[in-house]
Amino acid sequence: MTRPNPIVPTVDFDAEGVQHGFLRLPYSRDDSAWGSVMIPVTVVKNGEGPTALLTGANHGDEYEGPIALMNLARSLSPDQVTGRVIIVPAMNYPAFLAGTRTSPIDRGNMNRSFPGRPDGTVTEKIADFFQRVLLPMADVVLDFHSGGRTLDFLPFCAAHVLPDKRQDAEAFRLVRAFGAPWSVRMLEIDAVGMYDSAAEEMGKVFVTTELGGAGTASATSAGIARRGVRNLLVAAGILRGEVEAGETRWLDMPDGDCFTFAEDGGLIEFLFDLGDRIERGQAVARIWPTGRTGADPVELAARRSGLLAARHVPGLVKPGDCVAVIAVEVDG
Amino acid sequence: MTRPNPIVPTVDFDAEGVQHGFLRLPYSRDDSAWGSVMIPVTVVKNGEGPTALLTGANHGDEYEGPIALMNLARSLSPDQVTGRVIIVPAMNYPAFLAGTRTSPIDRGNMNRSFPGRPDGTVTEKIADFFQRVLLPMADVVLDFHSGGRTLDFLPFCAAHVLPDKRQDAEAFRLVRAFGAPWSVRMLEIDAVGMYDSAAEEMGKVFVTTELGGAGTASATSAGIARRGVRNLLVAAGILRGEVEAGETRWLDMPDGDCFTFAEDGGLIEFLFDLGDRIERGQAVARIWPTGRTGADPVELAARRSGLLAARHVPGLVKPGDCVAVIAVEVDG
Amino acid sequence: MTRPNPIVPTVDFDAEGVQHGFLRLPYSRDDSAWGSVMIPVTVVKNGEGPTALLTGANHGDEYEGPIALMNLARSLSPDQVTGRVIIVPAMNYPAFLAGTRTSPIDRGNMNRSFPGRPDGTVTEKIADFFQRVLLPMADVVLDFHSGGRTLDFLPFCAAHVLPDKRQDAEAFRLVRAFGAPWSVRMLEIDAVGMYDSAAEEMGKVFVTTELGGAGTASATSAGIARRGVRNLLVAAGILRGEVEAGETRWLDMPDGDCFTFAEDGGLIEFLFDLGDRIERGQAVARIWPTGRTGADPVELAARRSGLLAARHVPGLVKPGDCVAVIAVEVDG
Amino acid sequence: MTRPNPIVPTVDFDAEGVQHGFLRLPYSRDDSAWGSVMIPVTVVKNGEGPTALLTGANHGDEYEGPIALMNLARSLSPDQVTGRVIIVPAMNYPAFLAGTRTSPIDRGNMNRSFPGRPDGTVTEKIADFFQRVLLPMADVVLDFHSGGRTLDFLPFCAAHVLPDKRQDAEAFRLVRAFGAPWSVRMLEIDAVGMYDSAAEEMGKVFVTTELGGAGTASATSAGIARRGVRNLLVAAGILRGEVEAGETRWLDMPDGDCFTFAEDGGLIEFLFDLGDRIERGQAVARIWPTGRTGADPVELAARRSGLLAARHVPGLVKPGDCVAVIAVEVDG
Amino acid sequence: MTRPNPIVPTVDFDAEGVQHGFLRLPYSRDDSAWGSVMIPVTVVKNGEGPTALLTGANHGDEYEGPIALMNLARSLSPDQVTGRVIIVPAMNYPAFLAGTRTSPIDRGNMNRSFPGRPDGTVTEKIADFFQRVLLPMADVVLDFHSGGRTLDFLPFCAAHVLPDKRQDAEAFRLVRAFGAPWSVRMLEIDAVGMYDSAAEEMGKVFVTTELGGAGTASATSAGIARRGVRNLLVAAGILRGEVEAGETRWLDMPDGDCFTFAEDGGLIEFLFDLGDRIERGQAVARIWPTGRTGADPVELAARRSGLLAARHVPGLVKPGDCVAVIAVEVDG
Amino acid sequence: MTRPNPIVPTVDFDAEGVQHGFLRLPYSRDDSAWGSVMIPVTVVKNGEGPTALLTGANHGDEYEGPIALMNLARSLSPDQVTGRVIIVPAMNYPAFLAGTRTSPIDRGNMNRSFPGRPDGTVTEKIADFFQRVLLPMADVVLDFHSGGRTLDFLPFCAAHVLPDKRQDAEAFRLVRAFGAPWSVRMLEIDAVGMYDSAAEEMGKVFVTTELGGAGTASATSAGIARRGVRNLLVAAGILRGEVEAGETRWLDMPDGDCFTFAEDGGLIEFLFDLGDRIERGQAVARIWPTGRTGADPVELAARRSGLLAARHVPGLVKPGDCVAVIAVEVDG
């Protein structure tokens, strides 16, 4: 027998109108014997219609999602909506408050914690609430990601190629509507523990993004997110209005050769910037040993030709870090 | 009677040719009773001529300088030089290894530690070595800065307006030669504890930079640094060759109204990007409270018109953080 | 096949007389490859009769229990006893030594760790030892609690309302005998992982307390504990002597409206003290924002009338903290 | 030549009316290169008259002062005032936010940091601002203290016996007006680094308190503080109204025998509570060794007769801790 | 269905010749969203023949193994080999880099983590890779241990007494060939989670060592390890050459009386050194209380006669630490 | 005007007989507002005669001194003494309790903190007490050292060659009397901040030791210390009895070539053990890179011939660590 999730929402998901409240998760600890994690949530509902579940800060150091969703939560009124919008701007809320990818409480990576556990860590309890309470309510799921503090991406919206044709088509229709500068068809994924898979396995239409990174958001990248979420809600038939057109280019990362890993630590010197074209065999970056001057750097050669689609951010690199991702342009 | 500095260099600053070595600073501690900090140093000398002292990582999380100086240290040969080049790619070396602005040993901010102390903290001992050993050897001093992990700058090279006309003219001649996209005449400074002031008070020609930030370097910003240091050495008559011409635009930050500070913590949403023009009174950014959805953000209005020249990087802002710097374009 | 618990007791639970020893739990770690946790235990046995299992510091920052049990362990002689008394003054011993609610080793909350695991964390191993070794020996179980560092309670003794009438009646007979100033019938509990449930499910007579808090014990509250444990042992037929009469008043916390949670962090100003009568709708406390002066505080209104039975202790409150518990007086 | 204090106030201390603002102290650090500490301040001014400087959280874990001053800052209007009231509810603001006695930035104990240094630690910079900017503005200074997380006091208001008769008489007149349940004439102090001495040496009338402790404030103790500060302002001729009468009893702590220190660590069992009368030679408390049961506790005997005026709070005591303070009642 | 292990080797275990590479284990974390643990591995293969799997730093602070295996990995050439040698000098590589017994990532003790889990902690993922990928490839397994930072041992090589006569005989033949100064027949073990048991249960010939300790290696102990691993490979028919003869003496630790545990913490004074003969009842060591001078130390008496075979290293001892192990000499 | 030292001794240094007590140093901090550091001290006095001041744990992780002095403090009776013996087994007591070289409170290295400051850090306050209170009482000073956790030494007793012939002769007479296996004439020292210099500059006879290391004491090295301190007291005319003869060999470390520093970090493999004879140019040790297998180690060659007198202990070495000290044998 499965135990119920311990989270107590202070909103009624079935009530009409706008509600701002919390998912209150009891969390007993040294500095508060009867404390809780208070995850902000907004529900906007108006009559019958599909439900969109919108999340940011699945990883706590990714900011375009929270910015777009804080704006949306404050501005969305029921009369603009047909159906329901559930907004959780910071899914891994403890991580978001700490400005870190994972939760400071349990080091939980939310996107590796599904389906979660009602009696597990704080991160697992949140995952379980999404798995068993929120995802079942949803028709469309948008989960914002960016590179976080240690990666930076060309801004793209993406969905996974799925065996169910309707689900696949609907997801890519929404990706197109989102209207990011780049769009990606993700062919295969390491599905273990991901929110993506949890949603898709329930048959939900799931859309995600990578919209920048470096532990910040620019005015440009935040604008992409703000516009994208509105476009997606319009396209999903929930928000009144028109999709604000935007051109997008399609990228693919077909195999492991797209990813370059460091075997050595040191000071990293990039020789290309995001969006630059690189030919196979060219050095993407050099790694300088930090222990002495006058020594040779290690050069990291591209294993395929394409565009630099993602890169490592911190000026020092550690052995095993993914340094660069090279993507190829494809027809949408 | 002043006690001698405890640092033991493994190079001979008066020897001809190229030497790669260390400034060995004894540092007794729990994990090494007879340990040392080993600061890499390169000296390239050829005959008589001026001495350039080149430093990076005065703040440990600023990378354009270390990248340019690691390149230079490996590639510079005595036959290219007339005089002497002393290269310390990571001045606050413990901070550089930690990837932090200040030293993990004593939290010392190198640029607030001058003139240093021979019996002080590790940071103060390094400062004292520059103050009493290296600066006196130098004619020209170039100290690379960038925004570090928490700030991002339009890339510029700068010098201070100085009462000594020759010193002032020579510094700005070198700023021009450096050839960054932007150049800045710094009218006044809070000189307390700065390396800048220490050098200038000795009559040295002192040039500095801010070349980006966000705790990383791009291919573009690293290129500016690599090219700039070579241009400066050529202009200083030390390196053979030609200055590689580059256009620069001059900026000024005339008063305190250029700087916008946050009074509230929260999620920051920038409404402009670096280089964008902002009119006085426009909101530069919004700060969203992180504790709940549906609440109003605080808007931070520009207190003067100009270009966004620097901004806060992390997605969360704390009360008291400098959020934005607005500069005005001036004639060089 | 279940693996045996790794704890090695240095006492023989079946031997007559008084033994002071340890529950030695092997704990290999960085600072002691072959180290152990040494949990003090006292066993006093004299002939045939019931066994009482007495525990304190189930949460490590609650002190009335350890004080009463240290006194009892030192003073109890076999000739005063019929049967057996097993005394573990600090059940979560690592937490007790650290002065924290949970274990510094694994952050384990002992009262959420039952039934434990023989190959789990240190906290789970201790729970497993109680579950499979000590609880089966016991007839009567007294587990001392207080508010710890972050809560403060009106001093009460309590038991759970149970379906087994004999078990229920016997527990409340012992609560009455304990003789705390207040007594509580606990109607329902979140039983997951609790020592209480583990004992009750085995049919044991289980009594618990909340005797103060704020990370300390007063002379008064320690006196209640010292007297209470002796009264309970007398009433259970184990200790010779008379129950030292004490008047008690009965409290009930019938539903969720008894509990007031903060939605905002800040400086907390209580408007009532423990034991004060509050009317529904009155403000129990105010929360002042810490970021600026001149702003309005948030007022927390009581959701039912009654006595202030428990309150948050630290002067700063965090969102989600339980700020106050209001109880109603009932007939015993 | 002394360097100016780096703090930038956002209020004008000479302006009429109410201002809520900040003492902005630039504080460059790893997580904010151009960050600041923002200490809230309120100034209420109306015409000519004396200036009162009111401070709380000199030690960051003492709460009656901040509560009373947050209330006062929000409610005080210029028309109630003749002269000026400067309110800094949290003098060691970083410590207050952390809930700790000393600053989390530099572990500075504010009350051992005077006269401060403009180029010292954050704590020393704040002290220097009080020393050189705020204290010179003041006529009357009230600095709230309580026991903090590790001590608890009978609530008293106090001043130091001073050689200047006028200064002495005026201070005790205000102590009486404050109207705490207990009042103390402090005969001698270890003046090194204290705010008290800094103020008194400038000839200011200085009043202080100890109003409880245990890292919290009760409704009762906060009420004493709220009422006391208003009484003091009325008595000082700054606030319109009447002193709200309250009976006070006078205490003295004449010599070192009042203080009992632990030589052993362990679990502390108090045998008396605050306000209880103790005879010389009686055991005030017992310290139980935490390593084993069955061992004898150490008893701490009172070295003089009197009332228990202060006690150690945490349930575990460390060697060297002050366990108890015994005071004697005297005529006011 | 079991999920595959996430480790990606950069070597081909079936390729002929020498390969130096990595076991790359993806490890997403706050400071590297797409980071990895890079465990160095060397494979030397030449034709058909048995496979030896050689590991060091199962506990990260034990150095004889890593030293011997780094030497072997650099020097071994395929033409010296018949079959295959797989060398992992630092099995718990994160612990090895940190110089700690357990992993700094998850505090995992590698030798209590078998059989591991593909979706567990980093330590469990490494264990799972050995369990399901490397151990099945092996015929002979040598796992180097020493005392680590907190224990010191007489240098010995050992195997477990096993029910399978062939497996048992082969293991002890290799122990003899290893040629450490001491050899041990281990009669029984706490097999839970150990690499030893994992290997033995698969029928592998498993040999282990304890070769010193104190968080270091001496020239002597490293020499034993370097020579021993070569001897073992020769004896196993994999390495060409002769076993370098060495005399060994056999020890036994027959029961719990061999182990002396401290019940008290303090300053430890050993009265015997490793290899000294002790008679039952003699004091092996004294523990001085650290809190005061003039008090009596606790003496720890030997519970059997024999040689001091292992001892606690740090100068301070904690309650529960194993202080001494006494072994008896037996016929090999 | 110098302020008095804040330490309050609980012993009377002028009283006859044996006293065990404390140097109580008030230390206000977050976890004890009115706490103290309690440094154990023993004074044994009998009539007129010289005073010996005996100290251990000047560095907190060196154990021969505390062991010998704990033994001495417990066993020394006044009738054995003529004059006075002051015993402080743990001079840097907080470091001693933490098992670290420097103080956990302020990271103070006691032997770089002289002459101390009465208003400085805890370490500086202790140094000031020795400088201004204890050293002036002394005629003979013995300060025990060993290698601590990160160094290991051949056991020696030493004194400094001094210009004052009487002082020099008396010190070496006591070194000879101490009777360690090795003795050292220290020709020059870095005197800054050392206790040695503080004592010598007052004209005291100062003797020190290095008796082992690796963060522990062996039965042998503790025996050298126990016997040595008694011999020294006898030779100084304070303790009745005979010097227990012991042969000693004299070593010298004449210049900087005796010291070998690492320029690279890695796994260290020693090729010689303490006491081994090394020829100039031979490799003392190898440093293996920890990042990959198959790479060449760095070899550290001896820069002079002699005996290995000290070595680095931890299995991993960091750049700048002193790896080895080579001494030459000389005539005593």
For residue C126, the model assigns a pLDDT of 98
pLDDT in tens, D241-295: 999 978 999 999 888 899 999 999 999 999 999 999 999 999 999 999 999 999 9
pLDDT in tens, D258-273: 999 999 999 999 999 9
Looking at chain F, the whole-number percentage of residues with pLDDT higher than 90 is 95
Q: What is the C-alpha to C-alpha distance for residues E283 and E276, in angstroms, rounded to an integer? A: 13
Q: Which amino acid is at E207?
A: V
> Which sign does the torsion angle of CA B15, B21, B26, B27 carry?
positive
pLDDT in tens, B132-172: 999 999 999 999 999 999 999 999 999 999 999 999 999 99
Task: Write out the residue limits of the CATH 2.40.50.100 domain(s) in chain A.
Answer: 253-330
Region F16-38: mean pLDDT is 97
Angle between the N-to-C axes of helices F219-235 and F165-178, in degrees from 0 to 180, rounded to the nearest 10: 140
Q: Is residue E310 classed as helix, strand or coil in its secondary structure?
A: strand
- The tokens for A172 are 């890519």
Residue A22's DSSP bridge partners are: A40
For B95, residues 6+ apart whose C-beta sits below 8 A from its C-beta are B57, B59, B60, B61, B101, B102, B103, B104, B108, B110
**B1 has a pLDDT exceeding 60:** no
**D188 has a pLDDT exceeding 70:** no
Residues of B in contact with C264 (CB under 8 A): 291
Task: Write out the residue limits of the CATH 2.40.50.100 domain(s) in chain C.
Answer: 254-330
Closest CA relative to residue A33, chosen from C127, C214, C218: C214
**A257 has a pLDDT exceeding 60:** yes
Shortest distance, CA F83 to any CA of chain B (angstroms): 36
Task: Write out the residue limits of the CATH 3.40.630.10 domain(s) in chain C.
Answer: 8-251
Output b/e per residue, D107-120; b: 16+ Cβ within 10 A.
bbbbbbbbbbbbee
E97 touches chain A (CB under 8 A): no
CB of E308 closer than 8 Å to CB of E324: yes
pLDDT in tens, C195-206: 999 999 999 999
Q: What is the C-alpha to C-alpha distance for residues D231 and E44, in angstroms, rounded to an integer? A: 87
Residues of C in contact with B320 (CB under 8 A): none
Mean pLDDT of residues grouped by 10 in chain E (332 residues)?
89 98 97 97 98 98 98 97 98 98 97 95 98 98 98 97 95 97 83 92 98 98 98 98 91 92 98 98 98 98 96 98 96 74
Shortest distance, CA A73 to any CA of chain C (angstroms): 18
State the DSSP string of A30-52. TTBTT-EEEEEEEEEEESSS-EE
For residue B254, the model assigns a pLDDT of 85
Q: What is the C-alpha to C-alpha distance for residues F315 and E57, in angstroms, rounded to an integer? A: 11
**F332 has a pLDDT exceeding 80:** no
For residue C246, the model assigns a pLDDT of 82
F20 touches chain E (CB under 8 A): yes
State the DSSP string of B80-141. GBSEEEEEES-TTHHHHHHTSSS-TTT---GGG-TT--TTS-HHHHHHHHIIIIIGGG-SEE
For residue E188, the model assigns a pLDDT of 63
**Chain A residue with the nearest C-alpha to that of F264:** A291
Shortest distance, CA B70 to any CA of chain A (angstroms): 6
**Topology at the third CATH level for domain C254-330:** OB fold (Dihydrolipoamide Acetyltransferase, E2P) (2.40.50)
Residues of F in contact with D259 (CB under 8 A): 34
Residues of E in contact with A314 (CB under 8 A): 31
Shortest distance, CA A112 to any CA of chain C (angstroms): 22
Q: What is the C-alpha to C-alpha distance for residues E6 and E297, in angstroms, rounded to an integer? A: 53
Q: What is the C-alpha to C-alpha distance for residues B290 and E81, in angstroms, rounded to an integer? A: 63
pLDDT in tens, C49-88: 999 999 999 999 999 999 999 999 999 999 999 999 999 9
For residue D255, the model assigns a pLDDT of 87
Nearest 5°: the CA angle B309, B311, B316 is 170
Categorise residue F241: left if φ over 0, alpha if ψ from -120 to 50, beta otherwise: left
Residues of chain C with confidence (pLDDT) below 70: 1, 188-190, 332
Record: contact C148-A28, CB cut-off 8 A: no
Q: What is the C-alpha to C-alpha distance for residues E169 and C282, in angstroms, rounded to an integer? A: 82
F289 touches chain A (CB under 8 A): no
The interface predicted TM-score (ipTM) is 0.97
D37 touches chain B (CB under 8 A): yes
**Chain D residue with the nearest C-alpha to that of F105:** D107
Region B184-192: mean pLDDT is 77
Residues of A in contact with E25 (CB under 8 A): 320
Considering the domain D253-330 in this protein, what is its CATH number? 2.40.50.100
Closest CA relative to residue E199, chosen from E142, E123, E119: E142
For F190, residues 6+ apart whose C-beta sits below 8 A from its C-beta are none
B99 touches chain D (CB under 8 A): no
CB of D32 closer than 8 Å to CB of B268: no
Record: contact B34-F148, CB cut-off 8 A: no
Average pLDDT across chain B, whole number = 96
Residues of F in contact with B30 (CB under 8 A): 61, 100-102, 107, 149-150
- The tokens for D168 are 């002495």
- CB atoms < 10 A from the CB of C189, how many? 12
Record: contact E264-D319, CB cut-off 8 A: no
For D164, residues 6+ apart whose C-beta sits below 8 A from its C-beta are D203
State the DSSP string of C95-150. HHHHTSSS-TTT---GGGSTT--TTS-HHHHHHHHIIIIIHHH-SEEEE----GGG
Q: Measured between CB atoms, which of E101, E112, E193 is closest to C30? A: E101
Average pLDDT across chain D, whole number = 96
For D44, residues 6+ apart whose C-beta sits below 8 A from its C-beta are D17, D18, D76, D77, D78, D81, D84, D85, D87
Record: contact B321-D24, CB cut-off 8 A: no
For residue A189, the model assigns a pLDDT of 59
Choose the mutation target among D318, D323, D326 for the interface with F, i.e. most F CBs under 10 Å.
Answer: D318
Q: Measured between CB atoms, which of F3, F33, F119 is closest to D148? A: F33
**Chain B residue with the nearest C-alpha to that of F317:** B32
Chain D: list its partners (3+ Cβ pairs within 8 Å): B, C, E, F
Residues of A in contact with E31 (CB under 8 A): 149-150, 314, 318
pLDDT in tens, D51-73: 999 999 999 999 999 999 999 99
Record: contact D217-C315, CB cut-off 8 A: yes
**Chain B residue with the nearest C-alpha to that of D7:** B320
Task: Write out the residue limits of the CATH 3.40.630.10 domain(s) in chain A.
Answer: 8-250
**A1 has a pLDDT exceeding 60:** no
**F260 has a pLDDT exceeding 70:** yes
Record: contact A293-B40, CB cut-off 8 A: yes
Kindly report the pTM of this predicted structure: 0.96
For A53, residues 6+ apart whose C-beta sits below 8 A from its C-beta are A86, A88, A134, A135, A137, A138, A140, A141, A142
Region F203-218: mean pLDDT is 98
For residue C188, the model assigns a pLDDT of 62
Residues of F in contact with D312 (CB under 8 A): 32
**Chain D residue with the nearest C-alpha to that of E266:** D291
Q: What is the C-alpha to C-alpha distance for residues E315 and A81, in angstroms, rounded to an integer? A: 71
Rg for chain D (alpha carbons), in Å? 21
Shortest distance, CA A114 to any CA of chain C (angstroms): 22
**CATH of B8-251 among 1.10.260.40, 3.40.1280.10, 3.40.630.10, 1.10.238.10:** 3.40.630.10
Record: contact B322-D35, CB cut-off 8 A: yes
Shortest distance, CA D150 to any CA of chain F (angstroms): 6
State the DSSP string of F177-194. HH--SEEEEE-----TT-
206-225 of E, contacting F, C-beta below 8 A:
214-220, 222
Closest CA relative to residue B90, chosen from D110, A131, A288, C222: A288
**A187 has a pLDDT exceeding 90:** no
pLDDT in tens, A4-26: 999 999 999 999 999 999 999 99
For residue A332, the model assigns a pLDDT of 64
- B255: exposed, middle or buried (Cβ count in 10 Å: 0-12, 13-18, 19+): exposed
**Chain C residue with the nearest C-alpha to that of B319:** C291
**B86 has a pLDDT exceeding 80:** yes
Domain A8-250 class? alpha beta
CATH 3.90.1150.10 fits F8-249, yes or no: no
Cα C229 to its chain centre, rounded Å, is: 13
Q: What is the C-alpha to C-alpha distance for residues E81 and D268, in angstroms, rounded to an integer? A: 68
